[in-house]
Amino acid sequence: MQPIHDVLLLLVVLTNFWVLGTTRLSATIRATAVQGVLLAGLPIALYPGFEPHILGLSIGTFAVKALLLPYLLSRAIREAAVRREIEPLIGFAPSLLLGAVAVALAFSIAPRLPLPGLQTQMLVPVSLSTVVIGLLVLTTRKKAVTQVVGYLILENGIFVFGLSQVQRVPFLVEVGVLLDIFVGVFIMGIVVFHINREFDSLDSARLTELRD
């Protein structure tokens, strides 16, 4: 049978497709929360043995990525009263196809990037495709909340990549990264709130209308 960490990594890719294919903002936030839960399970699945370092990373990830950030984002859309991504720059079906292409490319490139001490062959392609899909969401969606979600997915990809080297990276660095994201999303939440108040809309394209 498949080892549990490969199944978790597969589910991470499926949540990426979920974000690409859905129009509802609440569903994209739910997808990132699910992705946070999967990422929290990954360190334990990859390094069984319950070392305090790994456990701390897992619990921190769960608290920030599965609970705190989704909560902040859903509060943002509740206050801004937006429900749907209306007109992305690239439509939903083409972006699904682009996502599939990204996954295919990531899986074909990954074997050429040999890394020392990899637990599973899935780690590199999944992280590459997650980064690319995060970038795709970040650049092609217009609502500020979806762009924050794209940023989170991009960072989740980097997190998955970092998991391959987790024993060499000190715990402090990981915690620092989690804190950075938290602060980043916090600031973006404030920006979202202000965009909404200025323009009565969360459409970041309207930021070009800023003038005296």
Q: Is 97 in the site for another protein (CB under 8 A)?
A: yes
Examine residue 100 and tell whether it contacts another protein (CB under 8 A): yes
**Distance in Å, CB of 93 to another protein, minimum:** 5
Neighbouring C-alpha atoms within 13 Å toward the C-beta of 133: 36
Closest CA to 146 of 102, 81, 79, 83: 83
Size of the site for another protein (CB under 8 A): 20
* The binder of another protein chosen from 8, 13, 131, 145 (CB under 8 A): 13
Shortest separation between residue 124's beta carbon and another protein, angstroms: 11
Give CB contacts under 8 A, 24+ apart, made by 181-185.
181/64, 181/65, 181/69, 181/152, 181/155, 182/64, 182/68, 182/69, 184/151, 185/69, 185/72, 185/73, 185/148, 185/151, 185/152
Q: How far is the CB of 91 from another protein (least distance, A)?
A: 8
Residue 165 makes contact with another protein by CB under 8 A: no
Which residues are near another protein by CB under 8 A?
A: 1-2, 6-7, 10, 13-14, 17, 21, 92-93, 96-97, 99-100, 103-104, 107, 121, 125
